[in-house]
Structure 1
Amino acid sequence: MSYAFPPGGLPDQSVNPEGSAVFTTAYAVLPAITQRDIVTSLLPGWTGMRMWLLARPLSGFAETFSQYAVELQAGGGSDTPEVDTGAQSVVFVANGQVVLTIGATHHDLTAGGYAYIPAGVAWTIWNRSGAVAQFHWVRKRYVPAEGVAHPEAFVTHDDAVPPTVMPDCDGVWATTRFADPSDLRHDMHVNIVTFLPGGRIPFAETHVMEHGLYVLQGTAKYLLNTDWVDVGPGDFMWLRAFCPQACVATGDQPFRYLLYKDVNRHAVL
C-alpha cells in the first residue's frame, strides 16, 4: 500500500496558477499541488515539526472537526501534542516511523499504523528514527452520552483490519472500519474507503455527517454537490452536512481515501 501526503516544495515559475482548488458553500477541494511549503503551520510545544492544516471548524460550514497532515524531522515530536482535554484524536501514519505513547504504553507505528486516542488521555509522539516521518491527525471534541461509557484507546494497522465489502457491489467497494459502527461509545469514525477501478458510489449520498476525505491512493471522478471533480493522491475534500456526494474510481489501481465522519449523537439544537 502507498499513503499519499502533502508534497511540500514549490512549483516552478512555469506552472499556471489557475488550478483546481475550490471553496464553495457546500464543499472544498484542496488539491495536492496547493499543499506546499509556504502554507504550512507550526504549533507550540513541538520540536522539528510542520503541518498542513487542512480543515478547521468554520461557522456555517463544517463545524465538528479539524484535520492536519503533520511532518516530523528526525528527532521531532511533542510531549504535549494535544492542548484541549476535550479533544479525541486519530493518528494515521503515511510514511516513516513514530513512537506513540498513550498513557504509559509505547507503540512503534509505521506506514499504515492507526491509533485512536480518547479525550483527556495523555499521549506523546516522537520520531526516533533518522528519517522524516509523516502522519495524518484528525481531531474532534468528544460528545458524552448518558449511560454510554467513554471509548478506550486502541492501536492497529491498515493490514490488520479486514475491509467490509458493501452490499450489492460485486466486491468493488469496501470500507476498512477501525471502530465498530455499532459501538455507541464512538462519536466519530475515521475509516479507509476502497474502490477497485470502475467501482462507484451508485447514488448521490446526502446525509447529516460532515466529511474530510484525504485521497491516499488512486484516482476518481468525485461528485460534490452538483460538480464532478477529478481527484488523485494527496487531494483533500471537505464536505459540510447534506452535501451530495458520489464517486467513480478511474485508473488501473484501487482508489482509497481516509474518511472522517461524525456519528452516533443527537443533532445539536
Structure 2
Amino acid sequence: MSTQYYAPHGGLPAQTQLLTDRAVFTDAYAVIPKGVMQDIVTSFLPFWTGTRLWVLSRPLSGFAETFSQYIMEVQPGGGSDRPEDDPEAQAVLFVVEGTATLEVAGSIHELTPGGYAYLPPSENWTLHNNSDEVLRFHWIRKAYQRVEGLDAPDVLILNENDIAPTPMPDTDGKWATTRFVDPADLRHDMHVTVVTFEPGGIIPFLETHVMEHGLYVLEGKAAYRLNQDWVEVEAGDFMWLRAFCPQACYAGGPGRFRYLLYKDVNRHMPLRLGGGR
C-alpha cells in the first residue's frame, strides 16, 4: 500500500467562510485542526532562509511541558547552516514532502518522504532544500535529560518505508507501530513513532499514563477520545495530550488512520516543581 503524508500548504480562507471549526484548547488536551494552519499564523526563525513554520506545541504553562513541534516549510534554495541555537536540544526530523539535504557527523543524507533523523544534543548539523520542490518536514525538539553513566544517543538516519511495523498484541494487525528507536535503548528519553490503524482498528481501553503526547495525523480520519470527550480528527490535525489524559481511538475507515506520535520516556519522575530530583 502506498504511503501518504498530509502537509499544510497555507493560504487564507475566503471572507465568506464560516468561523465554526474543531479547534479545542483545554487544560488536559488540545486539538489544532488543519484549517488553522494558514499563512497568517506562520513563524520565522533566525539563520533560516526561504523558510517559514507552523508551531504546533511549545513548553507553556497549561500546555506542552516536555517538547516543541514545528512543521517546517523550506522553499527551493532555502535552509540553514545554523539551525539550532540550544546546545541541550535534541531533535527528530520527519519529512512529509520534498527532499531535505541533511549534513551531520561528516556525512550528507538525502531525506525523502518518510525520512527520519535523530540528532543528539550539541550535534552540529545543517539542512537545505537543494531540490526544485518545496520541502515540508516535522521538527520535534526536547531538552535532553542526561543520566550519569549513559552516553547521549547516536545520530540515526532512517526511513519509515524501510521498517516493518510492529503489530500490537491481540489486534490481528489492526493496530501497529513503526519504531525508529529500540525501546530497550535507555539512552533515549523520547520516542517518535508512526502509529497505524487499519479500518475498524481501535484502542480498546482508556489509556491513562504518565507520557505526554503530541499526535499529528498523517493520513485518514478517526474518532479520538480525549479526557471525557470524543472528537473527530483527520489528516493534518494535531493533538496534544498532557500526562494522564485518558485517551482511546476508533478508526472507522474507509482508509488507514496514521499519526506521528511523540512521547517522553525512560527517566525518573522529578520530585520537585521546576524539575529538581
TM bracket (short chain): over 0.9
What corresponds to 1:13 in structure 2?
Answer: 15
1:97·1:111 contact (CA, 8 Å) conserved in 2? yes
C-alpha separation in 1, matches of 2:136 and 2:4:
13
Q: 1:35-74 maps to which residues of 2 (within 5 A)?
A: 35-74=37-76
C-alpha separation in 2, matches of 1:131 and 1:62:
32
Give the drift of 1:13.
Answer: 1.8
CA deviation profile, 1:40-93 (whole Å, cap 9, x unmatched): 000000000000001000124321000000000000000111100000000000
TM-score normalized with structure 2 length: 0.96
C-alpha separation in 1, matches of 2:132 and 2:112:
14
2:52·2:72 contact (CA, 8 Å) conserved in 1? yes
What corresponds to 1:29 in structure 2?
Answer: 31
1:7·1:32 contact (CA, 8 Å) conserved in 2? no
Give the drift of 1:18.
Answer: 1.6
CA deviation profile, 1:80-127 (whole Å, cap 9, x unmatched): 111000000000000001101112110001111110000010000000
Give the drift of 1:157.
Answer: 0.3
Q: Structure 2 residue aligned with 1:140, among 121, 139, 142?
A: 142
C-alpha separation in 2, matches of 1:44 and 1:102:
20
TM-score normalized with structure 1 length: 0.98
Gaps of 5+ in 2: 272-277
After TM superposition, where is structure 1 displaced by more than 4 Å over at least 4 residues in a row?
none
Opposite residue 216 of structure 1, the aligned amino acid is: L
What corresponds to 1:99 in structure 2?
Answer: 101
Q: Structure 2 residue aligned with 1:189, among 187, 191, 199?
A: 191
> Could you say what secondary structure the match of 1:149 adopts?
coil
What corresponds to 1:218 in structure 2?
Answer: 220
What corresponds to 2:238 in structure 1?
Answer: 236
C-alpha separation in 2, matches of 1:44 and 1:213:
27
Q: 1:156-195 maps to which residues of 2 (within 5 A)?
A: 156-195=158-197
2:198·2:253 contact (CA, 8 Å) conserved in 1? no
1:120 has 2:137 as partner: no
C-alpha separation in 2, matches of 1:16 and 1:57:
31
Give the drift of 1:148.
Answer: 1.5
* Alignment RMSD: 0.8
C-alpha separation in 1, matches of 2:54 and 2:184:
32
Give the drift of 1:251.
Answer: 2.0
The size of the alignment, in residue pairs, is: 269
C-alpha separation in 2, matches of 1:60 and 1:42:
24
Opposite residue 180 of structure 2, the aligned amino acid is: F
